[in-house]
Amino acid sequence: MEPQRMAWNGWGDPARATPLPDSVTRLLRDLLGVRPAQTPPLRLDQVKVADPRLPGDALTALAQAVGDPYVRADAETRIRHTRGKSTPDLLRIRAGEVADAPDAVVLPADHDEVLAVLRICAERRIAVVPFGGGTSVVGGLAPRADGFTGVVALDLCRLDALVDLDPVSRTAVLQPGLRAPRAEELLRERGFTLGHYPQSYEWATIGGFAAARSSGQASAGYGRFDEMVQALTVATPEGTLELGRAPRSAAGPDLRQLVLGSEGAFGVITAVTVRVRPAPAVSAYEGWRFPSFDAGTAALRRIAQDGPLPTVLRLSDETETMVGLARPDRIGALQEDGCLVVAGYEGAEEEVAARRAAVARTLREAGGEPLGAEPGESWAHGRFSAPYLRDALLDVGATAETLETATFWSKIPALYAAVRDALTGALTEAGTPPLVMCHISHVYPAGASLYFTVVSAQGPDPVEHWRRAKRAANDAIIAAGGTISHHHGVGTDHRDWYAAEIGPLAVDLLRAVKRRVDPVGILNPGVLLP
């Protein structure tokens, strides 16, 4: 019933952890001054977690609601539900910091049990963190505990069914606790695909995709997750919302779009109806080289505006290309010139061939040089491995983190420069000049995303060290007119900048919504909204 567990102090499957090649470690030392940390890593049984504090009858009431085996307060379960997988999260848990571990973990089986848990917690003023894959990288699983009698993690892993598949409408009703690979497997058995492949794919859940407004690596072909969602069922302390009677409607505001991106602050998503597509017959990846990030950006813009679009479309800047981050098996080779574009195609054979030829024509006209399949296949092969790489970087004393934004095409160059300069400036000033890399991985007719990867030495207080750089990047994003997140979400880490982005009246609107569905304020307090 419960799927394979993620590493408690890192990413993914511990068996897949791989140390950095010595050559890379040397490079980090020589280039960035990275030095191994002195403290040996803690084992799980060395981490001390405080006694749970919930009010007296809470565990009994919760056990009545979901069944005894599904309320857990043991140390390991609580530690495994502590925060998410951002670099600060990992640095802190590696140091044994679990003061904000939930007091208990509750595993409901269905919508009604979720409703019951929310009622029990609202009555007792217990904060509730909806928990899917636990992959948040923005503090989305770190609610405020003060003012509450305790914190419960609501783990949705038992809501893991494909409830319905409508082959005529090409829609599927999925439960929120389904991990993406399992959802994909269930759909493929019936000839369909969801086509949603964020970097967190192997561990993240359907509910998390919806709550955090996720976007996958194949967004050019399959769309963002919010575009896939047709209907939602949401459990709130004040009852149930059932939203979405048609793909599109003019009956009032689109309330699905109010739940998508609400990050557990407005309710717990208990069913998601998504658009599905026939499983692709073929998939193909290829690489192209552009002389500069500007030239590559212009090419991507042309494809996004005039079509046709590949299924995957990415452009690495000069630094990312040089370092080989786009092709993880080549990292550290430092041999690439220019800027790498990866284009991927999925679909029916004939359709893919035609689309691929049309895109190739445009890329060539825009100054691209074809590199053949190898760089594309290499990217596809390593597409979910970067988080393992981060663990290895942390192991050798480096800080590695990512952040992303988006804006309109005409503002992309200034936003790119502003964020890069802010990160470089802040970390250099702190004595650890960084490597800042960037790619565009999601394109729209009117704009695109920018995804930054930063590597530097850790500094004496690694968490605070990174926090300062991140703050500089966030300030730069807001000042340059970008959005504070293109696909990671707001969580607690982006909350203040999010408030600046939408303005005080819009923040108040969201507060008004929250008050109506969650008058006690138990749902992920402090996440999304200040």
| Region from 33-41, 70-78, 145-153, 480-488 binding a copy of itself, contact rule CB under 8 A | 480-488
Q: By C-beta, is 52 or 132 nearer to a copy of itself?
A: 132
Q: By C-beta, is 202 or 226 nearer to a copy of itself?
A: 226
Is residue 439 within 8 Å of residue 385, measured between CB atoms? no
Q: Which residue from 488, 518, 520, 522 is in contact with a copy of itself, where contact means CB under 8 A?
A: 488
* Residues forming beta bridges with residue 290, ordered by sequence position: 339
* Radius of gyration over every alpha carbon of the chain, rounded to an integer in angstroms: 23
Residue 275 binding a copy of itself, by CB under 8 A: yes
Using DSSP's 3-state secondary structure scheme, residue 32 falls into: helix
| Region from 110-118, 333-341, 386-394, 478-486 binding a copy of itself, contact rule CB under 8 A | 478-486
Of residues 407-436, those binding a copy of itself (CB under 8 A)? 407-411
Of residues 348-377, those binding a copy of itself (CB under 8 A)? none
Of residues 117-176, those binding a copy of itself (CB under 8 A)? 166, 168-171
Please state the φ and ψ torsions of residue 105, each to the nearest 5 degrees: -120, 130
| Token code pair at residue 15 | 């068996």
Convert residues 292-321 into a mask of x (bound to a copy of itself by CB under 8 A) and - (unbound): ---------x---x----------------
| Region from 21-29, 184-192, 382-390, 483-491 binding a copy of itself, contact rule CB under 8 A | 483-491
Taking the C-alpha atoms of residue 80 and residue 131, their distance in angstroms, rounded to an integer, is 11
Residue 64 binding a copy of itself, by CB under 8 A: no
- Contacts of residue 359, defined as CB under 8 A and 6 or more positions apart, other chains included, come to 303, 308, 309, 310, 343, 345
Alpha helices (H) in 67-101, listed in sequence order: 75-80, 87-94
Q: Which residue from 255, 279, 414, 463 is in contact with a copy of itself, where contact means CB under 8 A?
A: 255
Question: CB of residue 443 vs a copy of itself: minimum separation in angstroms?
Answer: 9
Is residue 127 within 8 Å of residue 143, measured between CB atoms? yes
Edge-to-edge strand list for the sheet holding 171-174 = 162-166, 171-174, 268-275, 229-236, 239-243
Question: CB of residue 175 vs a copy of itself: minimum separation in angstroms?
Answer: 19
Edge-to-edge strand list for the sheet holding 282-290 = 369-372, 282-290, 339-347, 312-316, 435-440, 447-457, 398-408
Is residue 234 within 8 Å of residue 240, measured between CB atoms? yes
Taking the C-alpha atoms of residue 346 and residue 311, their distance in angstroms, rounded to an integer, is 6
| Token code pair at residue 355 | 């689309």
Question: CB of residue 41 vs a copy of itself: minimum separation in angstroms?
Answer: 32
Of residues 438-467, those binding a copy of itself (CB under 8 A)? 442, 444-447, 449
- Give the count of beta carbons closer than 10 Å to the beta carbon of residue 66: 21
Amino acid at 517: V
Of residues 206-245, those binding a copy of itself (CB under 8 A)? 212-215, 224, 226, 230, 236, 238-243, 245
Q: By C-beta, is 136 or 453 nearer to a copy of itself?
A: 136
Q: By C-beta, is 176 or 208 nearer to a copy of itself?
A: 208
Q: Which residue from 510, 520, 522, 523 is in contact with a copy of itself, where contact means CB under 8 A?
A: 510
Q: By C-beta, is 31 or 348 nearer to a copy of itself?
A: 348
Question: CB of residue 111 vs a copy of itself: minimum separation in angstroms?
Answer: 14
* Count of residues in contact with a copy of itself, rule CB under 8 A: 81
- Give the count of beta carbons closer than 10 Å to the beta carbon of residue 464: 12
Q: Which residue from 36, 41, 147, 247 is in contact with a copy of itself, where contact means CB under 8 A?
A: 247
